[in-house]
Amino acid sequence: MFAVIGNPNAASLTYYGLHSLQHRGQEGSGISVMNDDGEINTIKGEGLLTDVFTNPAMLVDLPGAYSIGHIRYPSNGEKGYDNVQPLLMKMSDEKFAIAYNGNITNTAELRRELERQGSVFHASGDAEILVHLIRRKEGSFLERLKASLLELEGAFNYFILHDSGVYAVRDSKGIRPLCIGKLSDGGYVFASETCALGIVGATYIRDVLPGEIVYIEDGRVMSTFFTEERMHAICLMEYVYFARPDSDLEERNVHSFRKQSGIELCKETHVDADMVIGVPDSSISAANGYAEAAGLPNEMGLIKNRYVGRTFIRPTQALREQGVRMKLAPIPSVVKGKRVIVIDDSIVRGTTSRRIVQMLREAGAKEIHMRVSSPPIMYPCFYGVDTSRREDLLAHQLDTEEMRRHIKADSLAFLSREGTVRALQRSESLGPNCGVCMACFTGEYPTDILKREQ
Ligand code: AMP
Ligand code: SF4
């Protein structure tokens, strides 16, 4: 998500900001801008940002200084145009554009109750729930927003573009990342990751805090909290896989964390071999760390076709397998006759590792040792990452030796939970060491509701 507050080029800045966040989702893209007359115009559609904004002139159709933008990773709700964000809600007396990242865990109950009270839902995702809750409250917009947020459980970042201003919200555990930047030529931005700041000429101010609502009043950044019960539990998978290596989340650099995970992985699981190979792109940093610690060459044994998106996000197993085949290819002259240590950041369903081992064998590798720079994922995520079915998780079904046989590697080892915690403590961090959610590795969820759902 990316938003601009108080800059006349809001639409194009949002476009560039979203462009550097494209790795976070590929199913849909959209930008809503409020013009000087308070009208909200939106352009959105299914697919990548460049599929939707096929011509830069389209941004001219979005005049105004306040904008919110979104790219969609579908973890909940149906696919299709209706769920592409920002969602627009026009009531007789109020207008909203709303964008959202995360997953509300009590959607079913809330929706049932709201429908009973007469609310009509247009889409099936979670974005709309908040608008319906706000509509049923009394008081100023901020009071209604606060009261509504208290009813939500789970992980949520919201941007709301409303007649009264722009609001950025982070849930009380800070599960998904969100930061604030200041534009050099006036105004502010909000972004899911700091990697989106530089491209628009914004400098990092700080992260939005758990439970915080940030809004702009009279050109000043204002802040309030919607709850007293707050803690830091940012998603560990953001560091492991999701975020771009040049992003700092809670002031901790993602590349630095991954490299440190590779160093810890080497210390814990090293095996004699000729070279280290990282699975591009997300495991390159961990492979750097591993190779450096092992004193082995860090080779490019696999290359990635840049024009294939993130395969995991594809909705069916057949599409995912085809995606991995299209995405990765071995370099036979590098691996032929060699004992290789392959570093990947995670195993979820096992599709990628199995296919990589097969490709490297076909390319002539003598031994293939798979090393994973995070612990086994054994529990589902209810917070917006598409690993919500426990039965899909390979490590839920099989122990490490059975997984090794399944992916057909010569050996397989994971970084321990303790090793991950050490990597967090030792990676480059400008701020205090904030707490993380590690629920998919440990089963200890940071919100209560999930204890019920497990
Ligand atoms: P799998 O092939 O199902 O075992 O998924 C693991 C691969 O997908 C690894 O190479 C990861 O880099 C990547 N990955 C891990 N978690 C996610 C996620 N939540 N969304 C998309 N890709 C992921
Ligand atoms: Fe992230 Fe895992 Fe927690 Fe989900 S359960 S928020 S993927 S760490």
DSSP state of 61: G
Whether residue 221 is predicted with pLDDT greater than 90 in this model: the reply is: no
Question: Which SS3 state, helix, strand or coil, does residue 291 take?
Answer: helix
Q: Of all atoms in ligand 2, which is nearest to the CA of residue 235?
A: 1
Q: Which of 175, 234, 436, 450 to mutate to test the pocket of ligand 2 (most atoms within 8 A of CB)?
A: 175
**pLDDT reported for residue 313:** 55
pLDDT digits (tens, 9 = 90+) for 255-282: 999 999 999 999 999 999 999 999 999 9
Exposure of 235 by Cβ count < 10 A (0-12 exposed, 13-18 middle, 19+ buried)? buried
CA atoms within 13 A on the CB side of 183: 22
C-alpha gyration radius of the chain: 22
> pLDDT for 13-60, tens place per residue?
999 999 999 999 888 999 999 999 989 999 999 999 999 999 888 998
Question: Cα separation of 167 and 394, whole Å?
Answer: 40
Residues with CB under 6 A from ligand 1: 241, 279, 282, 310, 312-313, 344-353, 385-387
Domains and CATH numbers, the chain: 2-231 (3.60.20.10), 253-305+313-426 (3.40.50.2020)
Give every CB contact of residue 395 below 8 A, 6+ residues apart in sequence: 347, 376, 377, 378, 403
179 annotated ligand binder: no
Largest CA distance in the chain: 72
Q: Per-residue pLDDT tens for 342-353?
A: 999 999 999 999
List the residue whose alpha carbon is closest to atom 1 of ligand 2: 235
Using the mean position of ligand 2's atoms as its centre, give its distance from the Cα of residue 58 in Å: 37
The mean pLDDT value for 213-234 works out to: 90
- List the structure tokens of 453: 């759902």
Does residue 240's CB lie within 6 angstroms of at least one atom of ligand 2? no
Listed in order, strand segments (DSSP E) in 274-327 are 275-278, 298-299, 302-304
Beta-ladder partners of 87: 98
